[in-house]
Chain A
Amino acid sequence: METEPFIVLSAILFTIGCVGVLTRRNAIVVFMCVELMLNASNLALVTFSRTNGNLEGQIAAFFVMVVAAAEVVVGLAIIMTIFRTRRSASVDDASLLKY
């Protein structure tokens, strides 16, 4: 099986996520970009699992999904709380914890 397209796709997705995290201010969008990066790595894991003919990569992908699901629950709750108190979902506005 040809693995290169999958890896390229994974890299593109990861880069999009990465750039999104660094450039977007909206917390929801940043969050989605993080999910994009996680899924990009999931794709890479599954691809390599297939190439090598074992299940370890797939197991790791499942782990990532479970953790990502948990992270979504906690992360969205935090974003919602911040939005309620500050009336804003911008990550730049939540910058009180600093030097």
Chain B
Amino acid sequence: MASASVLLNAVPVVQPLPDDGVFSLLWLVIALPAFGAAVLLLGGRRTDKWGHYLGTLTVAASFVLSLVLFFALLGRDGEDRQVGQHLWTWFSAGEYTVNLDLLYDQLSALFLLLITGVGGLIHLYSIGYMAHDERRRRFFGYLNLFVAAMLVLVLAGDYVGVFLGWEGVGLASYLLIGFWQHKPTAAAAAKKAFVINRVGDIGLSLGTALIFVTFGSTSFAVVSELSEGAGDITLTVIGLLLLLAACGKSAQFPLQTWLLDAMEGPTPVSALIHAATMVTAGVYLIVRSNFIFSLTEDARTAVIVVGCITLLMGAIIGCAKDDIKKALAGSTMSQIGYMILAAGLGPAGYALAIFHLLTHGFFKANMFLGAGSVMHGMNDDVNMRHYGALRKIMPVTFVTFGLGYLSILGVPPFSGFWSKDKIIEAAFADNFVAGACALVGAGITAFYMTRVMLLTFFGEKRWEPDVHPHESPRVMTIPLIGLAILSAFGGLLIVQGWITGWLEPVVGEHGAHEELPFGISAFVMTLVILLVVTIGVVVAVKLVGERPVPREAPSKVSVLTRAARADLYGDALNDELVVKPGWAGIRGLTVFDRSVVDGAAEGTATAFAAVSARFRLLQNGFVRSYALAILAGASLVLLTLLARNF
């Protein structure tokens, strides 16, 4: 083990190989959806008829290309699985050059498959979901723009390139949350998401600036090579800034409040951007920057704390929401909290974070699309209290949603079991408190997901009188089936530790396995987790399933429920801690500006005017008085001369 510890300290260095053979087509993965976006957004109404097909096809083509590239990468040896592609020099100032380089390695390969694969299915689903929307072409244009930006984010070989993609997905997210711009709530939600994301973006831009100052370059290759030589404090500060960026984009505490409002966007958007891909960009950023986080224990502790807080907060919020999409959004926050927690564990957790990110991408996109399918049948009503007994009427939606449900619960052998179980184990091995948070979170997850399931598909019919639920068209159920299969079998990725081995060259050695608390084995740990999950399910069945569900949300509820309905006062907290002091500061500055700054300028002018008003009276127009003044002056000069000379 002594020799292994030497390896442990060494962070993996990014050394991309030239893009020979099929890898020279790497740029095309981004270019295809970007082309689609350009045609759809610039082409205008001419593209209305076939725009959605083009949008779907470009992403599908991108997916095929990603598959080809993935298998080409799979055919190489472990050390050779890094390919760099130099597109062009973006800008250059003095000794600082930013190249638009792409980096295709094991990590980006998985992301490419997730983004284009899930993205393609969601595009397909949207053809049906948005069929009656007259702005459908624009919707597909924005979706393509998003996919292109997200691909830039995960393929960039430079922090500045990551920033480009980061802002691109932020823009696409803003446009799509506010897609139904005639609704004031949607417009406000888009604005909120945009503003809160800016706070995180400050972290990324300052982090990038600090990286440049420290290492003289922002490319992953250079930074990963030099990061061990940097000072501890510098690395910690960089890590914390990158964590701030991740908090903004991934809706982590304390920047989490925008995600629940973001559910104002169309459901496919919630599935693609606010569940499967964009909100996981923060996790990607931390895992990609492993050469920084692995070297700074303090920053990783902060990451773990943020992850634990958010996974509990999201789960608690999810318990109290009657809006099906908001319940799922709380769940997304919570699951990303798991990923962030795993990423904070260092080399032991990076691969698990990515693994959970993938399985979560499958099952959460699946459930969001399922929710969309339910809403489609219920006249776009999102209130679960108006659902009930839908399992017979929407069998495909029910079965696919159910697979996602089993997966997120962590029921073996579905995908969520493999990823979440591993994260809880790793968290326990690292720190008992973090592990306990993750374990409790799993129980709450079981509760709120069972509640969603029971309210939607079981129990009595509580439909609005004019609602006639029906199963969705095939163009919507096929993506559901595809994603359900992925949620069910996504766990296969970890068979024989494939995914951890695959990612090891990127994120570093896994290291020695630490002991679980009380010396229990991993098998017992799994049993404990399953027990907690079962308790969550049973509680939900007792509290929700076996009681009549009122169609109106009861107002006499416990303090905790009221807090959870108010998003655990996240907005109120921001209001009290940031917005109000900000306003007070601005008011103070306004008063200062008016009284002190303006006062100084205007006061000087007033004083001069007052003095000159007195002197002005000397100009009285009488020639003789001027003459007297001249005489007086001349006499004075004469007397002075006399006094000085004699």
Chain A residues packing against B (C-beta within 8 Å): 18, 21-23, 25, 30, 91-92, 94-99
Q: Given that A18-B631, A22-B631 are contacting pairs, would A99 and B624 also be in contact in the complex, using a CB cutoff of 8 Å?
A: no
- Contacting pair A98 B624 (CB below 8 A): no
Closest CB pairs A-B (n = 7): A98-B621, A95-B621, A99-B616, A91-B623, A99-B619, A98-B619, A21-B627
The CA of A18 and the CA of B630, in the complex, are separated in Å by 11
Which one, B616, B617, B622, B631, contacts A95 given CB within 8 A? B622
The CA of A22 and the CA of B631, in the complex, are separated in Å by 9
Which one, A22, A30, A94, A99, contacts B620 given CB within 8 A? A99
- 16 inter-chain pairs at a CB distance below 8 angstroms, sorted by A residue, are A18-B631, A22-B624, A22-B631, A23-B624, A25-B624, A30-B624, A92-B622, A92-B624, A95-B621, A95-B622, A95-B623, A96-B621, A99-B616, A99-B619, A99-B620, A99-B621
Chain B residue, CB-CB nearest to A34: B627
In the complex, B628 has a CB within 8 A of chain A: yes
Chain B residues packing against A (C-beta within 8 Å): 616-617, 619-624, 627-628, 631
- Contacting pair B621 A97 (CB below 8 A): yes
Chain B residue, CB-CB nearest to A97: B621
- Per DSSP, chain A at the interface is loop
The CA of A95 and the CA of B625, in the complex, are separated in Å by 11
The CA of A30 and the CA of B617, in the complex, are separated in Å by 24
The CA of A30 and the CA of B627, in the complex, are separated in Å by 11
- Contacting pair A95 B620 (CB below 8 A): yes
CB proximity of B104 to chain A, nearest CB, Å = 83
The CA of A94 and the CA of B616, in the complex, are separated in Å by 18
Q: Which residues of B contact A25 (CB under 8 A)?
A: 624
CB proximity of A20 to chain B, nearest CB, Å = 10
Chain B residue, CB-CB nearest to A18: B631
Q: Which residues of A contact B619 (CB under 8 A)?
A: 98-99
CB proximity of A15 to chain B, nearest CB, Å = 11
Chain A residue, CB-CB nearest to B631: A18
- Contacting pair A91 B621 (CB below 8 A): no
Which one, A22, A96, A98, contacts B627 given CB within 8 A? A22
CB proximity of A91 to chain B, nearest CB, Å = 5
- Per DSSP, chain B at the interface is helix
CB proximity of B615 to chain A, nearest CB, Å = 9
Q: Which residues of A contact B624 (CB under 8 A)?
A: 21-23, 25, 30, 91-92
The CA of A92 and the CA of B616, in the complex, are separated in Å by 19
The CA of A22 and the CA of B626, in the complex, are separated in Å by 9
Q: Which residues of A contact B627 (CB under 8 A)?
A: 21-22
Q: Which residues of B contact A98 (CB under 8 A)?
A: 619-621
The CA of A25 and the CA of B616, in the complex, are separated in Å by 24
The CA of A58 and the CA of B619, in the complex, are separated in Å by 38
Chain A residue, CB-CB nearest to B615: A99
Q: Which residues of B contact A30 (CB under 8 A)?
A: 623-624
CB proximity of A49 to chain B, nearest CB, Å = 21
- Contacting pair A99 B623 (CB below 8 A): no
Q: Which residues of B contact A23 (CB under 8 A)?
A: 624
Q: Which residues of B contact A22 (CB under 8 A)?
A: 624, 627-628, 631
With A22-B631, A92-B622 already in contact, 14 other A-B pairs whose C-beta atoms are closer than 8 Å:
A22-B628, A23-B624, A25-B624, A30-B623, A30-B624, A91-B624, A94-B623, A95-B621, A95-B622, A97-B621, A98-B620, A99-B616, A99-B619, A99-B620
Chain B residue, CB-CB nearest to A21: B627
CB proximity of B625 to chain A, nearest CB, Å = 9
Q: Which residues of A contact B623 (CB under 8 A)?
A: 30, 91, 94-95
Most buried by B among A22, A92, A96, A99: A99
- Contacting pair A99 B617 (CB below 8 A): yes
Chain A residue, CB-CB nearest to B613: A99
The CA of A11 and the CA of B619, in the complex, are separated in Å by 30
The CA of A94 and the CA of B620, in the complex, are separated in Å by 11
Chain B residue, CB-CB nearest to A95: B621
The CA of A94 and the CA of B621, in the complex, are separated in Å by 8
Chain B residue, CB-CB nearest to A94: B623
The CA of A67 and the CA of B624, in the complex, are separated in Å by 22
Chain B residue, CB-CB nearest to A91: B623
CB proximity of A51 to chain B, nearest CB, Å = 19
The CA of A73 and the CA of B621, in the complex, are separated in Å by 23
CB proximity of A24 to chain B, nearest CB, Å = 8
The CA of A50 and the CA of B616, in the complex, are separated in Å by 46
The CA of A79 and the CA of B622, in the complex, are separated in Å by 15
CB proximity of A97 to chain B, nearest CB, Å = 6
The CA of A25 and the CA of B622, in the complex, are separated in Å by 10
CB proximity of A14 to chain B, nearest CB, Å = 11
CB proximity of B623 to chain A, nearest CB, Å = 5
Most buried by A among B616, B620, B627: B627
CB proximity of B369 to chain A, nearest CB, Å = 84
Q: Which residues of B contact A92 (CB under 8 A)?
A: 622, 624
Q: Which residues of A contact B631 (CB under 8 A)?
A: 18, 22
Most buried by A among B616, B621, B631: B621
The CA of A25 and the CA of B631, in the complex, are separated in Å by 17
The CA of A66 and the CA of B305, in the complex, are separated in Å by 100
Chain B residue, CB-CB nearest to A23: B624
CB proximity of A94 to chain B, nearest CB, Å = 7
The CA of A91 and the CA of B617, in the complex, are separated in Å by 19
CB proximity of A11 to chain B, nearest CB, Å = 13
Chain B residue, CB-CB nearest to A25: B624
Q: Which residues of B contact A21 (CB under 8 A)?
A: 624, 627
The CA of A18 and the CA of B619, in the complex, are separated in Å by 21
The CA of A97 and the CA of B619, in the complex, are separated in Å by 8
The CA of A92 and the CA of B621, in the complex, are separated in Å by 8
Chain B residue, CB-CB nearest to A96: B621
Chain B residue, CB-CB nearest to A92: B622
CB proximity of B611 to chain A, nearest CB, Å = 14
CB proximity of B630 to chain A, nearest CB, Å = 9
The CA of A15 and the CA of B628, in the complex, are separated in Å by 13
